[in-house]
Amino acid sequence: MPKLRRPAGGLWDNPDFVRLWTGQSISEFGSQVSQLAIPLLAATGLHASPLQFSLLGVLGFLPFILFALPAGVWVDRLSRRRILIAGDAARAALLVLIPVLWATHTLHLWHLLVLQFVIGIFTVFFDVAYQSYLPSLVEREQLVEGNSKLQLTVSITQVAGPSASGALIAALTAPYAILADAFSFVTSTVFMLRMRHRDEPHPAAEEGAAKPKMWPEVKEGLRWVVGHRWLRAIAACTGTSNFFSSVLFAILVLYAVRNLHLSAFEIGLMFGVGSFGSILGALVVNRLQRTIGVGRTILLTAIVFSAGGLAFPLAPKSFPLPLLMVGQMLFGFGAVAYNITQVSLRQAITPERLQGRMNAAMRWIVWGTIPLGSLAGGLIATVYGLRAALWIGAMGSCFGFLPILLSSVKSIGAMPEPVDPPTPAQAELAGGIIEGVPLPGPAAADT
């Protein structure tokens, strides 16, 4: 019988990337369990109200408003690999507390809310470090391939994960199923400990160097994102879409349970089957952006996921699953292909010394709208009903692509080279004009 061989070529020959990819694939699969088990535990085990239920989403993403910007400074100053390891290990320990408290009959809703918030803090640092670490691990021309591979396994786990999670929750109950997620974070930590690549910290963090104050460094990262019209348009599109989709998704599980009377297995099936669109998006995005260009790929995929949310309030109560799956497929395809392309563009045009602060500033802007949308969804559902919240979220999402349509992002062809902006000290000598740095690529003539 012939021996199976590992694929060769490209990033398959980068062992540290393969370790990062493997560990993240395992932890992403485990996270599918918690993403279903924690809301179900709140809805059925702790009898949360619609407003309390929405607070789970609010507190999970509130740390991106409070801590993303300083996290970017620390990610640029410290070893990103060590931040990744600490983030996964801490989240594993925190998740274990949920089944322990449930087993001792001491778990209350406020425990779940506090744990969501603290886990969110570690997620902030991990997420910023994760996107900032990849450009130092792979070549610039491999960024789309790297992001595609990472997102492909995320999409695959979104297909297999929810249905498997539903079965696991049905067998073990929601609190004990969360142990699978904790174990996945431990496994991911082990793989990252084996990575040999040691990223270099920010020069100012080296021993004996004068460390600048945090606020000027935070402002430099924000100025780079807000002053760069490509990044500004991407932030506006993603932030708007995240707000309205959070209005919708904050109460979707609750709506599916109470209004559509779907079981845990059916909800898992909805997300799982619908996520085939995410896999397709990860598989075709590399060819798509080479065929029609980076900018048009971003615009096209933004239109797709902007329209996908309409399927959720349109799903009939008599037989909702087919339309719910179609909506999830459209949303998954568009969002995944959009994210791979725009994240690769951001990484490609941003200098290495600003990667952490750029990602932190983007996360602060675009993920900061998520808790606001989740809170709005809970309030709208409380006052006007769950279905009204779905409609408002879906209709608002339809306009998310407009910042890309009205910007020069859509004209970007190939992935551009980075342009290094002046440091704050250089800008001060030049009169403080950092925004005047010419943009790379075809939009440079428009500055």
Binning pLDDT at 50, 70 and 90, where does residue 119 land?
A: very high
Task: Provide CB contacts within 8 A for 308, sequence distance 6+.
Answer: 327, 328, 329, 330, 331, 332, 333, 334, 397
Q: Kindly state whether residue 1 falls inside one of the protein's structural domains.
A: no
Q: Using 50, 70 and 90 to split pLDDT, how confident is the model at 203?
A: low
Is there a domain that residue 129 lies in?
yes
pLDDT at site 437: 29
pLDDT tier at 211 (50, 70, 90 boundaries)?
low
The answer to whether 374 and 250 have CB atoms below 8 angstroms apart is: yes
Tokens of 332: 């998954």
Chain mean pLDDT for the chain: 81
Note whether residue 206 is domain-resident.
no
Q: Does residue 355 sit within a domain?
A: yes
pLDDT > 80? residue 423? no
Q: Give me the percent of the chain exceeding a pLDDT of 90.
A: 23
Number of neighbouring beta carbons within 10 Å of residue 295: 25
Question: Of 166-180, 204-218, 292-306, 376-390, which gets the smallest average pLDDT?
Answer: 204-218
The string of pLDDT tens digits covering residues 282-326 is 889 888 988 999 999 999 999 999 888 898 989 888 888 888 988
pLDDT at 153: 78
Res. 11: pLDDT tops 70? yes
Residue 209 has pLDDT above 60, yes or no: no
Is the pLDDT at 157 greater than 90? The verdict is: no
Least confident of 6-20, 169-183, 347-361, 387-401: 6-20
- How far is C-alpha 6 from the chain's CA centre? 29
Q: For residue 303, what are the domain limits?
A: 15-194+213-418
- Residue 201's pLDDT band, with cuts at 50, 70 and 90, is low
In a domain, 284, yes or no: yes
Residue 433 has pLDDT above 80, yes or no: no
Check residues 42 and 211 and name the one with the higher pLDDT.
42
Q: Which residue has the higher pLDDT, 94 or 163?
A: 94
pLDDT for residue 79 is more than 50:
yes
Mean pLDDT of 44-63: 79
The CATH number assigned to the domain holding 368 equals 1.20.1250.20
pLDDT higher for 250 or 346? 346
Q: Tell me if 227 is assigned to some domain.
A: yes
Taking CA 172 as the corner, what is the angle to CA 167 and CA 173, rounded to the nearest 5 degrees?
A: 90
Tokens of 341: 């392309």
In a domain, 58, yes or no: yes
Tens of pLDDT, residues 232-261: 999 999 999 999 999 998 888 888 888 888
- 397-412: per-residue pLDDT in tens? 999 999 999 999 998 9
- Tell me the mean pLDDT in the region 107-131: 88
pLDDT at 12 over 80: no
Q: Tell me the C-alpha to C-alpha distance, in Å, between residue 90 and each of 38, 110, 319.
A: 18, 20, 42
Q: Which residues of 175-192 are buried (b: 16+ CB within 10 A; e: fewer)?
A: bbbbbbbbbbbbbbbebb
Is residue 296, in this structure, part of any structural domain at all?
A: yes
Residue that wins the pLDDT comparison between 8 and 254 = 254
Our count of domains for the chain comes to 1
pLDDT band at 115 (very low <50, low <70, confident <90, very high): very high
Q: What's the mean pLDDT in 123-132?
A: 84
Higher pLDDT, 68 or 247: 247
Looking at residue 402, what is its pLDDT? 94
For residue 432, what pLDDT is reported?
36
Q: Is the pLDDT of residue 179 over 80?
A: yes
- Is residue 75 over pLDDT 60? yes
pLDDT at 165: 78
pLDDT beyond 70 at 435: no
Q: Is 119 exposed, middle or buried (0-12, 13-18, 19+ CB in 10 A)?
A: buried
In this prediction, residue 158 has a pLDDT band, given cuts at 50, 70 and 90, of low
pLDDT, mean of residues 159-175: 78
Nearest to 21 by CA among 145, 140, 123: 145
Instruction: Check whether 424 has a pLDDT greater than 60.
Output: no
pLDDT for res 354: 84
